[in-house]
A and B are shown apart, each in its own frame.
Chain A
Amino acid sequence: MNSTFLKLNLGPQHPSTHGVLRLILEMQGEKIISCEPDIGYLHRGMEKMAEKMSYIRYLPTVDRIDYLAGFFYSELFCRTVESALELDLSERVKYIRVLLLELNRIASHLLWIGAFLMDLGAVSPFFYVFRERELILKYFEKITGQRMMNNYFVFGGVRHDIFDLDDVEEFLKILQNKIQDYNKIITDNPIFVQRTLSKGILAPDLAVNSSITGVNLRASGVKLDFRENDYLYKDIEFNPAVLNGKDSLSRYKARIEELQTSSEIIKQCLEKLKEHTNFRNDLVNPINLKLPTGEFYSQIEAPRGLASCFIKSDGGTSPYRLKWRTGSYYSVNLLRHLLKGEYLNDAIAIAGSLDIILPEVDK
């Protein structure tokens, strides 16, 4: 670090870093010369912990990797174990999982919209999105008994059959109206557009090179959605939104579009669940569950980018090595490039637009 520049600590206890992210900025006046992210304030040793625990004991903890999208990590861990044991999911269980995953994705994006707008100084949208998110969490509570960290997926199925699907249909209708409201209040708001348009330009080459996936990549014009090759989404048709803006505004719009995409997927799931009424789990006895020797890898498109789980098993009752890949971890790494040359007051908006969540970064 050069001593002629001002060194500024942003965080870790800063309200707009969405947790405990510390950015060490080097400033020349209002301009950022360099940025160095410092993480690890929330490290819980998820990978080390796995090596000491049996598979079924570890299962409830994986929801905590990303508390806003717990279903995704639950699904990912179950999926890896299922692939090792070659368990087969019934059609109904598959659609139950997709339905809950997409509802979870909507809840996660809604919260991001509120938090992002709060970063820009607009507090009221935060309450609007919480109103809609509450409906999803109420439904999760009804089905799983928990609002967050649901622990509903198990190896080879789900805990029990789903019910009260009318609630979901009702919610989708409400969401459609609310998305129009968001567009009126936020998307067309000139102050919001001024703060986000052409800010934090993420070139497609840099995004791919920095392993950025998910909505952030699609907002830079690269069409890449890992749901398209996902076995759960095999019979579901959808079109992921690809935008060419490359800036913060584009990332916001892509998430609003994704609310629509997820709604479409949920609608198809509801139809499929009416067709496939036969509920069947392919469960294994979780006590002393042993995975065959070998390496198992699976991935899923989580709300914050590609998430993957790698398990190496030596045939014992706990993993020999378990590795998580999370989307936010690479988004934090990208901030080194994205904040360079920007003004300090834009730094919050740019960092916020990447949808970083710290428990996922620190694992």
Chain B
Amino acid sequence: MNTDKIKEIFDCVETKADKIIVKKDFLNVIDLIKNNYKFDMLKEIIAIDNKDCIELIYNLYSTENDEDLKLSLTVSNNEADSVSKMYDSAVADEKEIYDLFGIKFIGNDELKRLYMPENWQGHPLRKDYSENDKRLEWNE
């Protein structure tokens, strides 16, 4: 799959290493990639807290052409668009990211605490988590 092709169609993407960084219109980009380039499987969504922002990596796969494609999205205001309407597996991934990173996915109605109890404060995989959490003092 030619990443330059996607760059040509959308002016909102740029490539870095093996990732395509999407700047805007994320849902349109992923919709086109899914339908026109047959990336029919979303292997996983990886969230990374880069301290100044949270990055989501969408790891797409085409079963027909045996190709991988990584899309990168930077989240602002802890809100992102849900892709659960396009990929059913995203429901599970977004639930996990909501629980551990506190990102709200607009369009996913099934977001709630997954691993942590309902009344748990904070999101454990965020980098600012342990510093603020007094409950972890015994572990230091």
- B43 interface residue, CB < 8 Å from A? yes
Chain A residues, CB < 8 A from B91: 333, 336
Chain B residues, CB < 8 A from A209: 40-41, 87-89
Chain B residues, CB < 8 A from A334: 88
Contact of A208 among B40, B47, B114, B125 (CB under 8 A): B40
Contact A39 B42 (CB under 8 A): no
Contact B48 A321 (CB under 8 A): yes
Residue on B nearest A43 in the bound complex, by CB: B115
In the assembled complex, how far is the CB of residue B114 from the closest CB belonging to chain A, in whole angstroms?
5
Contact B88 A45 (CB under 8 A): no
Contact B88 A210 (CB under 8 A): yes
Contact with A along B101-140 (1 / 0, CB 8 A): 0000000000001111000000011000000000000000
Contact A208 B63 (CB under 8 A): yes
Tell me the complex Cα distance, A295–B70, Å: 12
Contact B89 A325 (CB under 8 A): no
Within 8 A of B (CB), among A314-354: 320-321, 323, 325, 329-330, 332-334, 336-337
Residue on A nearest B19 in the bound complex, by CB: A295
- B32 interface residue, CB < 8 Å from A? no
Contact A40 B116 (CB under 8 A): yes
A/B pair count, beta carbons within 8 Å: 64
Tell me the complex Cα distance, A208–B64, Å: 11
- B14 interface residue, CB < 8 Å from A? no
Contact A40 B115 (CB under 8 A): yes
In the assembled complex, how far is the CB of residue B104 from the closest CB belonging to chain A, in whole angstroms?
19
In the assembled complex, how far is the CB of residue B126 from the closest CB belonging to chain A, in whole angstroms?
10
In the assembled complex, how far is the CB of residue B135 from the closest CB belonging to chain A, in whole angstroms?
13
Tell me the complex Cα distance, A39–B112, Å: 12
Tell me the complex Cα distance, A336–B110, Å: 12
Chain A residues, CB < 8 A from B114: 39-40
- A211 interface residue, CB < 8 Å from B? yes
Chain A residues, CB < 8 A from B30: none
Chain B residues, CB < 8 A from A312: 48
Chain B residues, CB < 8 A from A224: 63
Chain B residues, CB < 8 A from A325: 43-44
Residue on A nearest B90 in the bound complex, by CB: A211
With A40-B116, A222-B63 in contact, is A329–B40 under 8 Å at CB?
A: no
Chain B residues, CB < 8 A from A323: 44, 46-47
Tell me the complex Cα distance, A269–B91, Å: 40
Contact A310 B124 (CB under 8 A): no
Contact B125 A47 (CB under 8 A): yes
Contact A206 B88 (CB under 8 A): yes
Chain B residues, CB < 8 A from A229: 66
- B49 interface residue, CB < 8 Å from A? yes
In the assembled complex, how far is the CB of residue A220 from the closest CB belonging to chain B, in whole angstroms?
11
Chain B residues, CB < 8 A from A131: none
In the assembled complex, how far is the CB of residue B106 from the closest CB belonging to chain A, in whole angstroms?
20
With A310-B46, A321-B49 in contact, is A211–B63 under 8 Å at CB?
A: no
Contact B115 A211 (CB under 8 A): no
Within 8 A of B (CB), among A39-64: 39-40, 43, 45, 47-48
Chain B residues, CB < 8 A from A47: 100, 125
Tell me the complex Cα distance, A114–B42, Å: 32
Contact with B along A225-258 (1 / 0, CB 8 A): 0000100000000000000000000000000000
Chain A residues, CB < 8 A from B80: none
Chain B residues, CB < 8 A from A337: 88
With A333-B92, A337-B88, A362-B115 in contact, is A211–B42 under 8 Å at CB?
A: yes
A-B pairs with lowest CB-CB distance, top 3: A211-B89, A333-B92, A43-B115
| CB pairs A–B below 8 angstroms (24 shown) | A39-B115, A40-B113, A43-B115, A43-B116, A206-B88, A208-B41, A209-B40, A209-B41, A209-B89, A210-B88, A210-B89, A211-B41, A211-B87, A222-B63, A224-B63, A297-B59, A308-B44, A320-B48, A321-B48, A323-B44, A325-B43, A325-B44, A330-B92, A337-B88
B-side interface residues toward A, CB under 8 Å? 17, 40-44, 46-49, 57, 59, 63, 66, 87-89, 91-92, 100, 113-116, 124-125
List 10 additional contacts besides A208-B63, A209-B41, A229-B66; criterion CB under 8 Å.
A40-B114, A40-B115, A48-B124, A209-B40, A211-B43, A310-B57, A321-B49, A321-B125, A330-B92, A332-B92
